[in-house]
Amino acid sequence: MKPKKLFEGIYWVGAQDWDRRLFDSLIPLPEGTSYNAYLVQGEKYTALIDAVDPSKINFLEEHLKEFPKIDFLIANHIEQDHSGLIPFVLEKYPQAQLLITPTAKDLVQSHLHVAENRLRTVADGEKLDLGGRTIRFIHFPWVHWPETMLSYLEEDQILFSCDLFGSHLASSELFIREETLVIEPAKRYYAEIMMPFRKIIQKNLEKVESLPLNYIAPSHGPIYPRPEFIIQAYKEWIADKPRNLVVIAHVSMHGSTEKMVSHLVQALSLRNVEVRPFNLTVTDVGRLAISLVEAATIIIASPTVLTGLHPLAAEAVFLVNALRPKALFAGFIGSYGWKSRALDQLKTMLDSVRPEFLNPVQIKGDPRPEDFAALDNLAEEIYQKHRSANLV
């Protein structure tokens, strides 16, 4: 295992994780991921930007054998997949100083037990002179922890953006050759990790757009040789206006709710409203999250279990609420046996999204013609709402 030279004096010393299939014990990784760490050499000093996941210590250890001296370890983000090996690096290089944002100080001490005398906090806009190379620190909180920052290599015009702009995509190619292959992993990453902080990214993105950029080098996935590609994608994803798209997250126990979903899908399609149903018993929640990036309406379709939402539906609603998509409208359909409080539960659980609720269609038992008519009315209501929001 050798470090990969990106440019003269700039190396990739990270690790590919081809086989990882779950992140945070929650997020599916159909294409693996990478933990990118970068080493930058100046005439006087050498800096390591981020580390790798502790499970890949052997890669980092091998890569660093080529570099007897590291003066600065820059930690853009303190989540363990980048910071977990900070103690290892600091022990290997006793002279190295850890550079972090002031907000990160408590985190590195509580999570990693780093001694006070090994760290130094850096201000927003502060510069680090490596000798012929200058790294500028750009505080960019909440992408996606409170302490996050970006590191900008001024002379080479490279932005080391850590999680921001990342993609869960293991690849032997460190630079993107085919943008079409990266857009979905990047959108999945945005949906699962960054979407809850959409408004904050809106406020801070100008800090990135104002930089002359040759490359964006994130900490997951390949490097962007055409930075405007991912910046433009982010601008579309974080924009307030959704698309003429309905996401239906559904589960059925005995088929009644499933019949309702099938009818609603067709009724929406007949009105030229794009609709994506996700069967929660088999779906990859990442694909559901991707659709939430732009959906104008979210429909939860669930039977009633012990008077409440089916547990799979409750889990999906919890996720929707946590991801805070830009959807304007929400609705509920489903069948129940004898009594249901599922709609009240749904409304309570969506307190972060706060959509406008559409007329629910809850039925007792198997759907009758009048129930299908109610679903037609719901489809028409959705169409009209989308029209009034200038989405159609």
Q: What six digits make up the tokens of 318?
A: 């919890």
Residue 289 beta carbon to ligand FEO: minimum distance, rounded to whole angstroms? 16
In the bound complex, what is the minimum distance in angstroms from residue 223's beta carbon to ligand FEO?
Answer: 15
| Residue placing its CB nearer to ligand FEO in the complex, 221 or 334 | 221
Amino acid at 26: L
CA distances from 115 to 91, 93, 105, 118, 139 (A): 11, 14, 10, 6, 23
Residues lying near ligand FEO in the complex (CB under 6 A) are found at 77, 79, 81-82, 144, 163, 219-220
Closer to ligand FEO at the Cβ: 23 or 332? 23
Question: Closest CB to ligand FEO among 168 and 310?
Answer: 168
Residue of this chain nearest to ligand FEO (CB atom): 79
Residue 162, Ramachandran bin (φ over 0: left; ψ between -120 and 50: alpha; else beta): left
Angle at 293 between CA 292 and CA 296, to 5 degrees: 65
79 vs 371, which CB is nearer to ligand FEO? 79
370, with CB counted inside 10 A (0-12, 13-18, 19+), is exposed
CB of residue 35 vs ligand FEO: minimum separation in angstroms? 7
Q: How far is the CB of 194 from ligand FEO (least distance, A)?
A: 10
CA distance 24 to 14: 19
Closer CB to ligand FEO, 53 or 258, in the complex? 53
Which CB sits closer to ligand FEO, 147 or 258?
Answer: 147
82 versus 310: smaller Cβ distance to ligand FEO: 82
Shortest distance, position 31 Cβ to ligand FEO, whole Å: 15
Q: How far is the CB of 143 from ligand FEO (least distance, A)?
A: 9
Closer residue to ligand FEO in complex, CB, 74/350:
74
Report, in Å, the least distance between residue 222 CB and ligand FEO.
15
User: Of the two residues 77 and 105, which places its CB atom closer to ligand FEO in the complex?
Assistant: 77
Distance in Å, CB of 193 to ligand FEO, minimum: 7
Minimum gap (Å) between residue 83 Cβ and ligand FEO: 8
Q: Quick one: 163 or 258, whose CB is closer to ligand FEO?
A: 163
Question: Least Å distance between CB 144 and ligand FEO?
Answer: 6
